[in-house]
Amino acid sequence: MVEYVKRIVRVKTHQEIIPDEPYVQGFPVHKWSIEVCLLDSDGNEIPANIFDKVVYHLHPTFASPNRTFKKPPFKIEEQGWGGFEMSISGFLLEKGGERKMKHDLHFAENNYSVEHTIQVPINKPKLAQALLESGPVPGYTSDGQHITGISNTEATTSIPNAATNNTTASADADPDTANVNTTSATTTAAVAPGTPKTSLDATITNPTSNGTDAKRKSGSPDGKVTKKSKLSHNMKGSVDLDKLALGLTKLNEDDLVGVVQMITDNRTSEMNIKNNVEEGEFIMDLFSLPETLLKSLWEYVRKNLEQ
């Protein structure tokens, strides 16, 4: 199992008008720069040393719109007369994966920054050592010594829960007694890294013996889900899939991104998963997931809901 810790990436922008530059289509030309850093556990800016390289995907009207930088602060400098939305790709050390961040270049402020929360795997030694500079890493001491025999499960459970619950029965209902339709649970989450949408619909499909199903759609005005049928406690090994499905509907947006990343990174051909990029949907059949992954998901959900 691949385990993760959460880190915050700050994207900083500076821009100013070039005084002597002729206007273009009636607009002044701006000189702008963007750089990338990390925040440590105290909120201080530190170099984003977890990235091997950062690629800025600029508007196609720029010459060579994909710009690559391999050293912190991964600073790009350009000029132009109009703002636009770009994608920034951060490639983690040791081929630890790509993390995409949307960034809006605008000229309303001279200096501004935007923060993105990402999940970083800790199963790669060099990457784990780099992560220690921005915060604790389960299984490692503060001076970088690997602790043998220590489980890294906590790495996936450090994200606080601030979700608005839209499941039916109340948000704090006991999963043993909550009445909910158990076929699927749908929620809108923040865009997972690499998903080119402003929202992500994560649909969790959990078939039951009687064919009933339940749905949770974000945006419910009362923040609750209507009561339907009694949970039937579908089990796979030691994991109660009904409790897991209910717990997934209670996670907040950042936590759902972590769920998607865990499943994607551990995907096998036997798993029934559909990633509908066009619609921003990630659909999975819980029964098709291996028990080891289900256990990690349950631990992740349980710990986040306890916070």
Name the CATH superfamily, with its identifier, for domain 4-133.
YEATS domain (2.60.40.1970)
Q: What is the pLDDT of residues 194-245, one digit of tens each?
A: 333 333 344 544 444 333 333 333 333 443 333 333 344 578 888 888 888 8
pLDDT above 90 covers what percent of the chain?
41
Cβ neighbors of 92 (< 8 A, separation 6 or more) are 50, 51, 52, 98, 99, 120, 121, 127
Region(s) of the chain under CATH 1.20.1270 = 235-305
Task: Indicate the pLDDT class of residue 269, thresholds 50, 70 and 90.
Answer: confident
Peptide bond connecting 72 to the previous residue in cis, omega within 30 degrees of 0: no
Note the helical H segments in the chain.
125-131, 241-249, 253-265, 291-306
Nearest-5° angle of CA 177, CA 175, CA 182? 95
Pairing label, strands 111-121, 4-17: antiparallel
Region(s) of the chain under CATH 2.60.40.1970 = 4-133
pLDDT above 70 covers what percent of the chain?
68
Check pLDDT > 80 for residue 1. no
Cβ neighbors of 161 (< 8 A, separation 6 or more) are 250, 251, 252, 255, 304, 305, 307
Q: What is the mean pLDDT of the chain?
A: 75
pLDDT at residue 173, rounded to an integer: 36
Decide if 210 contacts 234 (C-beta within 8 A).
Answer: no
pLDDT at residue 62, rounded to an integer: 93
- Answer whether 0.85 is exceeded by the pTM: no
The alpha carbon torsion through 295, 297, 303, 307 (nearest 10 deg) reads -170
Check pLDDT > 70 for residue 270. yes
pLDDT at residue 91, rounded to an integer: 96
Q: Which range has the worst mean pLDDT, 92-96, 121-125, 151-155?
A: 151-155
Task: Indicate the pLDDT class of residue 249, thresholds 50, 70 and 90.
Answer: confident
Q: Which range has the worst mean pLDDT, 61-65, 100-104, 130-134, 259-263?
A: 259-263
In angstroms, the CA 178 to CA 89 distance is: 42
- The CATH classification of domain 235-305, taken from the options 1.20.1270, 2.130.10, 1.10.3470, 2.60.40: 1.20.1270
In angstroms, the CA 298 to CA 2 distance is: 15
What value does the mean pLDDT take over residues 56-62?
Answer: 94
Comparing 217 with 91, the larger pLDDT belongs to: 91
Q: What is the pLDDT of residues 7-58, one digit of tens each?
A: 999 999 999 999 999 999 899 999 999 999 999 999 999 999 999 999 999 9
Task: Indicate the pLDDT class of residue 258, thresholds 50, 70 and 90.
Answer: confident
Comparing 192 with 148, the larger pLDDT belongs to: 148
In angstroms, the CA 163 to CA 166 distance is: 9
Check pLDDT > 90 for residue 246. no
Residue owning tokens 């991104």: 257
**Residue 216, exposed/middle/buried by CB under 10 A (0-12, 13-18, 19+)?**
buried
Highest-confidence segment of 48-57, 170-179, 260-269: 48-57
Check pLDDT > 80 for residue 116. yes
pLDDT at residue 277, rounded to an integer: 58
pLDDT at residue 65, rounded to an integer: 94
Decide if 85 contacts 75 (C-beta within 8 A).
Answer: no
